[in-house]
A and B are shown apart, each in its own frame.
Chain A
Amino acid sequence: MSDATATPILTGRGVTKRFGGLVAVNGVDFEVRQGEIFGLIGPNGAGKTTLFRVMSGVYAPTAGSVRLRGREIGGLGAHRVCALGLVTTHQLVRPFAEMTVHRNVLVGVLYGRSGLRGAQAEAEVERVLETTQLTPHRTTLARSLTLARRKRLEVARALATRPDILLLDEVASGLNRTEGAQMIALIRDIRASGITIVMVEHVMRAIMSLSDRIMVMDLGRTIAVGSPAEIAQDARVIKAYLGERAVS
């Protein structure tokens, strides 16, 4: 999956995002390959979430380009990017609170890329609920779900749009060990179904065990890219996370 010959699906060149005087992302290059799980980590304020929003078309980059299969998506707007096959989950889960789980997913099916309507759309909802183990909760209101289930619903709704590439923002954070393990298993299943995954995560166990490749950011720049094993050994990464003295 992670061999260098795999086709890139999402590429960034010199991506810069400035907010007034603050340069949140500074000339970052990246390349996400078809079918891989690409992790994005970095200390607080490294620019991960900003880069994520540029990747998902919400923010237009101040400079540089983000291309999905060669097509520029920077600042295109989330619903158009979704139609091109890239969908994001939110860091703070944002289900449609007053809708049932079933209808939350139905929004993804009806407005995503499946093009399904009526009974076929309903069948698709059931299939997605099954994948994300939400079937028993289909008539529950989203707002009364536990956090772990709301996180799964967030993923379910995104999956329902039939993406080629799924951006997961802190999807394992705040979960206990069992719930985290379930989420990791779900992410593996999703990848096995052929969907490319980009994930930002604070939970190291999740990102280290899942990612094929990891990109480490610090202060708006890329400081390392490589396999989890390479990243764990990288002096710059250790420095960014633990400080100068930990290295020397």
Chain B
Amino acid sequence: MNPIRAFARLPRATRIWIQTGIVLALGVALAAIPIVAPEEFNLQRLAFFVLWYAILASAWNIVGGYAGQISFGHSAFLGMGAYTTGIFWYTLGWDPLLTLPIAGLVAAAYSVLVGAPTLRLRGPYFAIATIGVGEATRLLAVNFDDVFGVELTHGVTGLSLPAYDPVLVHYATVGLFVVTMLTTIGIRAGRFGLGLFAINMDRDAAETVGVPTARLQIIALAVSAFFAGMAGTLYAARQEFLDPSTMFSFSISIALVLMPVVGGVGTVWGPVFGALLYAYVQDQITSLVNNPYVPSLLYGLILVAIVLFEPLGVAGVIDRVSGRARRLLRGGAAGGDVVA
């Protein structure tokens, strides 16, 4: 019996509890890294980036995977959160980790502001609009100080932040990963998630049977941006430096689309697989060939192969190996329970 299919047959409550258990166990194991291996800085760095990407990709997946609104501008929310933390830390001296909720809320508020007009657009039009949002937000960060005559973002120079304890950041990252995963598991299993999948399949039909599509999409985007913004805080605290061209970069936005697509879009664990693969490949190839463009190239090739041969990504490959590919492709792409 294929384990994924067997899992899908379990009662809904059981599936939620099993997944919650996996997330909590993972959280405990990951939190132990700095204690078990205090000198393994490279492992700690890799763990941070895997989790950080997993948080971002899972956040993107709520609006991109569940609701089917593909955003190519998610670095805007990441950057908003990072800069919120950076500014509170740099100018007011607040502890960066204490600004986590503020960063999340600022990013969420910003997402509602830009989402209200753009979410009226559909499919590719929305995607294109989000590219514009991402770019406009970057320019906002670059020119903010000049335009308003203040010293907050420090323009292209960026913000050089004080040093911060990486172990504390590690715990915060594990914590946020756990909360993000529990949120996406809960959304996918519940009424809200079902509404998002209905929008994903057919917005008009969803509207007809009572789904308040506009409101649900805005909420999904806000939740997504909330987590992306908090991921920004983690980055600021870990890297201790922020500049607009990194934080608001188009390449991060693209990576946030790639990871869920590679791992399995619309599934709970797909973005996590994708993040693991992305961070690991990035790390290995960079140290191997010493050319920063090779990972991107390789990743592009993987993406093309996935779109052509396995639209369900890694999640689909796992099931294919188990020999029930057809049914999964039909059943699990979105809305099905297969790779819940």
A175, CB-defined interface residue at 8 Å: no
Question: How far is A143 from B202 in the complex, measured between Cα atoms in Å?
Answer: 13
Give the residues from 195 to 235 in chain B that come closer than 8 angstroms, CB to CB, to chain A. Answer: 195, 197-198, 201-202, 204-213
Q: Which residues on the B side are within 8 Å of A78 (C-beta)?
A: 204, 207-208
Q: Are B209 and A112 in contact (CB under 8 A)?
A: yes
The yes or no answer to B333 lying at the interface (CB within 8 A) is yes
Interface residues of chain B, those whose CB is within 8 Å of chain A, are 191, 194-195, 197-198, 201-202, 204-213, 330-331, 333-336
Is A88 in the interface zone, CB < 8 Å from B? yes
**Chain A residues, CB < 8 A from B336:** 98-100, 141
Could you say which of A90, A98, A103, A113 contacts B205, with CB atoms under 8 Å apart? Answer: A90
Number of residues of chain A lying within 8 A (CB) of chain B = 33
Q: Which of A79, A99, A113, A143 contacts B211 (CB 8 A)?
A: A79
Q: Is A82 engaged at the interface, CB distance under 8 Å to the other chain? A: yes
- Quick check: A110 and B191 within 8 Å, CB to CB? yes
Q: Are A111 and B335 in contact (CB under 8 A)?
A: no
**A79: chain B residues within 8 A (beta carbon):** 207-208, 210-213
User: Do B205 and A96 touch across chains, with their CB atoms under 8 A apart?
Assistant: yes
Listed A/B pairs (12) with beta-carbon separation below 8 Å: A79-B212, A94-B204, A94-B205, A98-B330, A99-B198, A103-B335, A107-B194, A107-B198, A110-B195, A111-B210, A141-B336, A143-B330
A157 near B209: Cβ-Cβ < 8 Å: yes
Question: CB-CB < 8 A to A89: which residues of B?
Answer: 208
A242 at the interface (CB under 8 A from B): no
Q: Which of A82, A96, A160 contacts B335 (CB 8 A)?
A: A96
Q: Residue on B with the closest CB to A111?
A: B210
Residue A87, interface by CB 8 Å: yes
State the Cβ distance, B279 to closest chain A Cβ, in Å. Answer: 30
CB atoms of B205 and A111 under 8 A apart: no
CB pair B194–A106 under 8 Å, yes or no, is yes
Please indicate the chain A residues that have their CB under 8 angstroms from the CB of B202 in the complex.
Answer: 94-97
Q: Does A222 sit within 8 A of B, measured CB to CB? A: no
* A219 interfacial by beta-carbon distance below 8 Å: no
Chain A residues numbered 96-138 whose CB sits less than 8 Å from any CB in chain B = 96-100, 103, 106-108, 110-113, 117
User: Does A158 count as interface, using CB distance less than 8 angstroms?
Assistant: yes
How many Å lie between the Cα of A161 and that of B194 in the bound state? 15
Q: How distant is the Cα of A206 from the Cα of B66 in the complex, in angstroms?
A: 39
**Shortest distance in angstroms between A181's beta carbon and chain B's nearest beta carbon?**
26
Q: Are B209 and A161 in contact (CB under 8 A)?
A: yes
In the bound complex, CA of A110 to CA of B197 (Å): 13
New A-B contacts (12) at CB < 8 Å, excluding given A56-B208, A88-B208, A95-B205: A78-B204, A78-B208, A79-B213, A87-B209, A98-B333, A110-B194, A111-B195, A111-B209, A141-B331, A141-B336, A143-B330, A161-B210
Instruction: Write the chain A residue with the least CB distance to B327.
Output: A141
The complex places the Cα of A83 from the Cα of B213 at a distance, in Å, of: 13
**Roughly how many angstroms separate A78 CA and B195 CA in the complex, as a whole number?**
15
Q: Which of A83, A90, A95, A144 contacts B210 (CB 8 A)?
A: A83
Which residues of the other chain, B, contact A117 by a CB distance below 8 angstroms? 191
A77 at the interface (CB under 8 A from B): yes
Docked CA distance A158–B330 (Å): 24
Contacting residue for A97 out of B201, B208, B211, CB 8 A: B201
Taking the closest CB of chain A, its distance from the CB of B232, in whole angstroms, is: 33
User: Which residue of the partner chain B has the closest CB to A103?
Assistant: B335
Nearest residue, chain B, Cβ from A122: B12
Q: Is the CB of A96 within 8 A of B208?
A: no
User: Complex: how many Å from CA A98 to CA B198?
Assistant: 9
Q: What is the chain B residue whose CB lies nearest that of A94?
A: B205
CB distance from B61 to the nearest CB of A (A): 16
Min CB distance A121 to B, Å, is 9
